[in-house]
Structures are given as structure tokens and as C-alpha cells.
Structure 1
């Protein structure tokens, strides 16, 4: 989900130019992508994990009724990282090696994402926090520190809210948990309203339709979302975007990712039942959303700290990895 600071000029979509060619060197339309099979995605994740410094490996675990894919490496206290949409564990590629010098890093594809299974249900963030707890126990840990961005931030918040005994500290990156304010997002923005207009929240509620539009063509929405919010478009390269597009290319993957949004009503009800977060909580954001988080987080936790990450909007992990790494090391270390 995109909740960000002061938008650029008109929040115009600025797609990254790309040239697709077939095996004969002929140009083909951008919507002619192919659907990536589970085996192809498994091999890709293994290759990507091995490419990172720090001895990272791509692993799988059957927990809480789902098969979770995670990438792990490093030594020390366990640190769980949860990605957002439309990304995967690869979102953290620039920070994982530095964090692995201090922590046992465990970066997880949440339920429905990337190499993890795509069930029909269980996308409430409270349920997904149960997935992470089961994985933590499977790996032999009693307590972990946890950080999340976007949808992953909601899961991290729910983890700390529901399992404080298993939480050392929690960091929330640029996205607060869904609450009553989500019901106030307009379907049609007023003239002059600052963007972005979060049309994708409603789009992902529609049964069957996004799959028909985007199967094999998810690169279009990848480019749209990044074009909407990146300060530096090159921070997420053409190759990175293709990696994400492969993970979301199938109808099954699109249907599962919609589950994160379709559970918002229950997520909001769950949020209203939570006590304040009792473990130390860090909020990372920039600009107007940093100001917003600074106002609401003291109401949501008993030990709250904030750090502003400049030179970015929504995709701070990929756009400002050094600043994010410093903030996480200072907080968790």
C-alpha cells in the first residue's frame, strides 16, 4: 500500500522505458510476458539468494497450514523482515548483507506472496502474524525482532500486538495498520486534491477481474506503482521490476495478493481490539507521512521512537538502503 509524503508534480505516471525482444531478437509488446511457473520461481529465488553477500539461502517451511518461503543468512539475534506490495523478499536485498553482520536475518514472503503458497483464505493480518509466529517457532526462536513495510508492516504490527511474548522490538516502515480512516478514502477525488488517489484498494476488491487483466502482464502495475512514488526511478532497476513481475505473473498469485486488501474490513475490526503495543516500536517514514505517524504512533504504543528517512517516499528500503540500515541497526542493535 502507498501512503507517502508530498507528491511530485501531479503524481503523473512515469513508466520506465523497456524494450522486450523474443529469442530471435524481434521486439514484442510489453504485455506479452509469460506466466512464471512455481519451479521457475523456486530456481530464481535460489539464484537471487545466493547472489547476496552474507551466505544467504532460499528455504521453505510448512507452518500454520501454509508453505512459507524465506531467505536467511547471517549470525546473531533473529531479525524477521516482511515485504510489501507489489514486491517480494527481494525488496530487502540492499539491506540484508549489512544486517546479516549483526543478526540472523530471516526475510519472508508472506502468505500469498512470491515463493509462498497461495491459499484461498487466511489473509487477515492477525492470521498472517500467526504464520510468522509458527515460522519463528519452527526455526527454534522464542523471541525475534521484526520489521515490515507496506502490507508487511501491518503483519509486523499484528505480530507485536498479538504475540508480545515473542517480540523483542518492532519497526514499522511507512505504513500504519489499517484503521477506520481507510473507509474515508474517496472513490472520486475532489478537484485539486493531492494524490495519490488510492484506486488500487478498490480495484483489488473486485472478484476475478484483476486476474483477467493482469495475468502475464503484471509488469504494467509494477511500473505504475513505482512510477507513482519513486524519487529516483533507477533505485528499482528494470531487472528488479522483472523479478517482481515474475512473482505476480500468474492468476493464482494475483488472486492471492488481492486477499491482503480484501481482508481490510476484518483487519480494521481486529485493530480496534488491540491494546497498545507493549514492546519498543520504531516508525520510519518521510515528510507528511512521517508527521502523521509521529502523531498516531504514541497512541498505539507505550515505547515509540520515530526516524525520518529523507530522499524517498514509499519505497524507502530500496531507495535509501543505507539510511534504513542505520536506523534499523541503531534501533535493534
Structure 2
């Protein structure tokens, strides 16, 4: 606020000089006024973002923004799992991706909860859930979700996931087909041989400012393989990595606002959270090996893709018998937040 006041005072000072100057001087003074006000506004926004109370970012505070939902914990396989639950109807499990948590689905939860009983899970390593030393392969996480649903008394569910959550969702369907009534995979497939072929170097002419789906440069795949270094670099300042990830993968940066970014940065700011999130990537080799053992899925499967649309169309047919793939136009990778109404419509039409 102090910076903003200083720049406003500067603008006022030069504004008074404009009236007393000739034309050239007026133009220069006017430019100074505009720059001063612009810097003041940016500074004001920065101070506002920095002033968000951490309590406002807690699960208990966030769930209050979503009437009808409650924040819960349950211990499964020796791991405390956090989840948010609400709504009526058949069970629909929603699994978030990196670098986010259950709040990723906040734009779609109110509408979906009118038709389904939602269980939005911070799986092993995410958000307020435990972050053990191991168990970040998708098959192990799938067993956590299965155990959670069994403990809650649910024998059948729709399973949906985005990003890493989509990989977990696929693993649930592959390992627990009797549980999975229908499966929804959003923008990223389960790790297969195509993951092992991701290039270390960007294609000629890339990386561009925004993701080119035809020539993606997935630099964080390698960065997240490092053990210890990401924690050293990002502890307490995860927003730095988040800034570049979101800008590169979002079609419109405004789709994830300052408050939402603060929520996500807050849950990844400590060493254990960074280590655990990277653990999902470090398990890719095991995930690929597990994938080779899976039979084709017999339940209906929906792929919803933004830039990952072609990747889903290439990967999913290998392991599915009843597949539909939908394209989300005018969206980057974070389709749930960039095009929530489209995602809601696709989900409801498929599940109904």
C-alpha cells in the first residue's frame, strides 16, 4: 500500500506540472503519470496477493465457499487421506493433478453435486494428506482410493481424474474394474512407452511462450526427477515454479486467479509437499512397467482433452474397448478451470 501511495503522490505531482507546461513537456509528463499509476496498481496487486491470510487458504476455510460440502480425513493403508465430500446421487470420485489439490475442481463441484455424490480426493502426497517416503506409483495410490471407498461403504463409483489424477484414475479402473462403473481421463494418459520417449531437448523453434501441442517441451518431467534439488530451490517459494508452469500450459492466464494460485502455492511450499509431488513423476518408470500388465478396460471410458487431445486419442485405444474422446476448444492443459462449463457438460452427458 505504501508503494501505491508513493506512486499516486508522484502521479499527482507531475499532473500539476502538466497544466503549466508546453505541448512537448505535457506529453512527457503525461507518460510519467501513466507509468507511475501503472506501477502503483501493479504494486497494489502484489501487496494484496502477499497479504492473503494462510488461514483463508486452509481446507476448512475453502470448503465454506462451497455450501453442502465438508472436509474429511480417513486412514487407509497407514496413510491419512484428506477428501472433500458433498452432493447427492451416484458416487463420482474426482482426482486432481500437479501442481494443484482438491480445489482444482471448485468451479465444477457446485453444479456436479446436483447430480452426483462427489468425493474429491487429495491422494497420497497431495494437499493435507500424508506424504510418506514411498508409494507414489499410481498402482499404490489406486489401492489407497479403493480402500477409502470401501471404508466409506461404496462398492461402485464413477472415477474421473485430471493430469496425475487421470493416471491414478486409469490405474483404479485397471486394478479394480468391479469398482469402476465409468472412467473419465482428462488431458493426460496413464504413463506408457510414449512417456519414456519424451525428449530432453526442445524441438527447433521451441519452447514457445505457450505450449505448442504438436511440439511440447515438458521440461518439468526431468526437473521433477531430481531428488533434493527441487526442495532446496522451491521451499517457501513454490509460486516461482507455479508461475512458469501455469503461464506455459494455460491458454488464458486469468483462468486461474491470484487467490487460486495462492491456494496451490500454499500446499506445495514445504519440502515434504515438493518431494511428494515429485514422487508421482519419479514413479513413471514403475507406472510404465505396470501399464504393460494391464488388460483392456471393458467399462465405458471418456477422454477429455485440451492440448492433450491427440495424446489421449493415440494412447487410450490400446487399453480400452468402449472409448469416446472429446476435444475441449479454446483451452490449455487446465481444462477444468479454463472451460468448466464444457467439462461439466461432457461429464454429465457421458455419465447419464
Q: Normalised by the size of structure 2, how large is the TM-score?
A: 0.82
Would you say how many aligned residue pairs link Structure 1 and Structure 2? Answer: 303
1:314 and 2:328 correspond: no
The answer for the alignment partner of 2:21 in structure 1 is: none
Partner of residue 325, structure 1: 344
- Comparing 314-323 with 185-194, greater Cα deviation is found at 185-194
- Counterpart Cα distance in 1 of 2:101 and 2:314: 29
Instruction: Say which SS state the counterpart of residue 177 (structure 1) adopts.
Output: coil
Q: 2:320 aligns with which of 293, 296, 301?
A: 301
**Which is richer in helix?**
2
Mapped partners of 2:313, 2:227: distance in 1: 36
Q: Which runs of 5+ in 1 are unaligned?
A: 1-16
Question: Which residue is equivalent to 2:229?
Answer: 209
Q: Distance in 2 between matches of 1:105 and 1:139?
A: 13
For the residue of structure 1 that corresponds to 2:266, the secondary structure is helix
For residues 120 and 248 of structure 2, what CA distance do their matches in structure 1 show?
A: 26
| Residues 304-313 or 129-138, more deviating | 304-313
- Choose which of 160, 165, 171 in structure 1 pairs with 2:173: 160
1:5 aligned partner: none
CA contact (8 A) 1:203 1:210 kept: yes
Query: What pairs with 1:45-56 in structure 2 (closer than 5 Å)?
Result: 45-53=59-67, 55-56=68-69
- Structure 1 segments of 4 or more deviating over 6 A? none
User: Which residue number corresponds to residue 13 of structure 1?
Assistant: none
Q: Is the 8 A contact 2:157 2:182 kept in 1?
A: yes
In structure 2, list runs of 5 or more residues that go unmatched: 1-41, 207-211
Matches of 1:46 and 1:71, distance apart in 2: 10
User: Comparing both chains, which one has the higher relative contact order based on Cα–Cα distances under 8 Å and sequence gaps of 6 or more?
Assistant: 1
CA distance in 1, matches of 2:203, 2:330: 28
What do the CA deviations read for 1:234-271 (whole angstroms, capped 9, x no partner)? 11000100000000010111111111011111000000
Is 1:189 matched up with 2:206? no
Q: Is the 8 A contact 1:33 1:217 kept in 2?
A: no
**Helix, strand or coil for the counterpart of 1:78?**
strand
Correspondent of 1:128 among 126, 141, 158? 141
Return the TM-score normalized by structure 1: 0.86
